[in-house]
Amino acid sequence: MTVSDHKIKSRFVIPPYSAHCVDVLAGEELCIIDVEGRQVSDFICFNKDDMTEHVSPVHMRSSLSSLRLKVGDGLFSNRRDPLMTLVEDTVGKHDFFFPACDYYRYKVDFGVENHPNCHDNLVKALAGHGIRMDEIPDPINWFMNNDVDANGDYTIRDPLSRPGDYVRLRALKNCVVACTTCSQDFVPVNGMTVTPIELQVLA
Ligand SMILES: [Zn+2]
């Protein structure tokens, strides 16, 4: 599918239980497409010219004064500067509150050793960039559907995304982005089935 009239520079389908890294240069756009629907994609983004700057959900919550993402919002960095802007969103429900699933999520909470997980998949995807295990920032979890009630308590629900839904982001600086197909298949984060995510870089 093509989601805009921009020219597709590259495309990649991330298989279930994995991750992929892509450059998105200033002025280019990135589409993150939920191919089959109800699939979360954990997203991290670095400034390609200074990898110590990265999109930072805690700074986003502060700069946006919000727990929800809207078209036009900046994806603010740990320097309080947006690296990307959300320019289109066909779902309107995402999370930038939760950490990536990791070894300990499956080991501690489910008693399962060596379950695939977003954190390790992000480390692998970024291997060429010298990012260490303990340097993976918190993610934006595209399509993740957490309901927070008036008391601040939350419930994780199936994503609202249907097949082909997507978000489109515009890079404000040269960016290195890594995205996963979230590996969670014990609770309904991904509708209990892990499915592909497609990335398109638009020139
Ligand atoms: Zn995950």
Distance from the alpha carbon of residue 5 to the mean position of ligand 1, in angstroms: 31
Whole-angstrom distance, CA of residue 183 vs CA of residue 185: 6
Whether the predicted pLDDT of 203 surpasses 70: yes
122 Cα to the center of ligand 1, angstroms:
10
Q: Where does residue 63 rank: exposed (0-12), middle (13-18), buried (19+ CB within 10 A)?
A: middle
CB 162 within 8 Å of CB 7: no
For residues 33 and 202, is the Cβ–Cβ distance under 8 A? no
Question: In the prediction, which pLDDT does 6 show?
Answer: 76
Tokens matching residue 9: 């520079």
The confidence band for 135, taking pLDDT boundaries of 50, 70 and 90, is: confident
Determine the distance separating the centroid of ligand 1 and the alpha carbon of 97, expressed in angstroms. 13
Ligand 1 centroid from CA 7, angstroms:
30
Q: How confident is the model over 34-38, as a mean pLDDT?
A: 97
- Among residues 82, 47, 50, 45, the alpha carbon closest in space to that of 63 is found at 82
User: What integer is the mean pLDDT of 123-140?
Assistant: 91
What's the CA-to-centroid distance between 32 and ligand 1, angstroms?
16
Check residue 55 and give its pLDDT.
98
Note the pLDDT of residue 133: 80
Position 26, amino acid: A
| Domain positions in the chain | 8-202
Average pLDDT over residues 40-60: 97
Ligand 1 centre distance from Cα of residue 184 (Å)? 5
pTM of the model: 0.95
The pLDDT score that the predictor gives to residue 5 is 66
Assign 3-class secondary structure to 117-171: CHHHHHHHHCHHHCCCHHHCCCCEEECCEEEECCCCCEEEECCCCCCCEEEEEEE
Q: Compute, in angstroms, the gap from residue 34 CA to the centroid of ligand 1.
A: 15
Q: H or E stretch including 174?
A: none
Cα 53 to Cα 59: distance, rounded to the nearest angstrom = 12
Nearest CA to 91 out of 164, 140, 36 is that of 164
Has residue 4 got a pLDDT over 80? no
Q: What is the mean pLDDT of residues 24-28?
A: 98
pLDDT tens readout for residues 165-191: 999 999 999 999 999 999 999 988 898
Residue range 61-84, pLDDT digits in tens: 999 999 999 999 999 999 999 999
Question: Ligand 1 center to residue 100 CA distance, Å?
Answer: 5
Is 31 in contact with 203 (CB distance < 8 Å)?
no
Q: Which residue has the higher pLDDT, 80 or 4?
A: 80
Reported confidence tier of residue 34, pLDDT bands at 50, 70, 90: very high
Look at strands 41-47 and 140-142 and give their pairing: antiparallel
Q: How far, in Å, is the centroid of ligand 1 from the Cα of 183?
A: 5
The alpha carbon of 66 and the centre of ligand 1 are apart by a number of angstroms equal to 23
